[in-house]
Structure 1
């Protein structure tokens, strides 16, 4: 069942390409629509407050544009008229039913089923064309799903490029560093200490660009606030993937560096 927050219906008549509504109904049951600054978030990026703007009959009679997005045919004209004018219109009475649910994502399957029942032949087309926020939600999923895929692909590509450049830069200097470790061997430094030293040196080389990249992303996401409601929501997941892959590159670099530098080092324990 749909977890509805509000239900409302309005009488309408359609004559030609014009849809007429009764002014008095909007005075009794104001039409609500989200305004430009309609959502607020908490520190975790969760939507905590959604504000709606009320449109009464007088306001809609002067400017009915708020009703356009809820018409079956977007080319239809909309007029809000008085009771006497509404009675004179020779057209069958119809009902416009509007309902608001608390969580579109949670009720997506139920909404899909409603559209499938209403439009069994044109389900795939109508699910993105029916009036209301549901079609907007599906359109946003398609658009931002592409952004998400592109961002993930580019992120992996840049991560591989960064880590590979670091790896080859470090390994290219292994031969020159080999003499340094031979000298440490002659001084009696143990193999375990040398391995620990290698791990720490390479860790510093990997950590600095990694931290800089994370800070850059955190500040860069500010630019996407106009496109995304909560650009920082779920950010822990890509950071976790980045850290795991980055750590794998680091461990591979350490092992390869040790093979280049330590094979000829023989230390008496």
Structure 2
């Protein structure tokens, strides 16, 4: 079965479950899926029911598609995403973004929990993603290109919309706090990076590091979608503080930053 046929089947199933046309898509990372709880009259679809959708296996990733209205905007939210470290190919990880585009979504907001590489950052900071380093050495566009989905060689010089980044800063300022802005390094995982790898990433210009987001953004830009990305700095990366890293720490931090994150995203959705 062709990729387009799989996209069509998945989108047709979702259309059959909803009675609205979402225009904004959100992919929520570890511990950040609570935003979906704010949707008015939510329609919840388990990933396992959607044709050709993978299933999330990571703690903090609920594995549900939630469709409804937030701030008078029709949105589709992924509570939980997929990762290459779960054994999925880059094309599979990013498949839901293809389906979002087919459903008519033109703006994608991606969030993740990330380790702070920039030593001026603090745990709990929110960072607008300015750019990324694809250090997974995988690309979801490898293979034959379907020109109906996008061009063979998509431009990535503005992977993260300058317009939306400014909007995010303006909304944060109106809420009396400031956002970091930096470069996100995407690695495969699932092991955390070594102190030597973090020193390497800092030399390369990374401000935060994580194990997601990059393939989804590549596909979104290939599809002509406008992208806004956020990293919640959930821990300082290896070697910065003299302590071991754990997913439990990530979940604790995202729980603390949740009120600020929710207010920010709600403000951005309202302003879109």
Using structure 2 for the length normalisation, give the TM-score. Answer: 0.22
- Structure with larger Rg: 1
Q: Which has the higher helix share?
A: 1
> Looking at both structures, which has the greater relative contact order when contacts are Cα pairs under 8 Å and sequence separation is at least 6?
2
Using structure 1 for the length normalisation, give the TM-score. Answer: 0.22
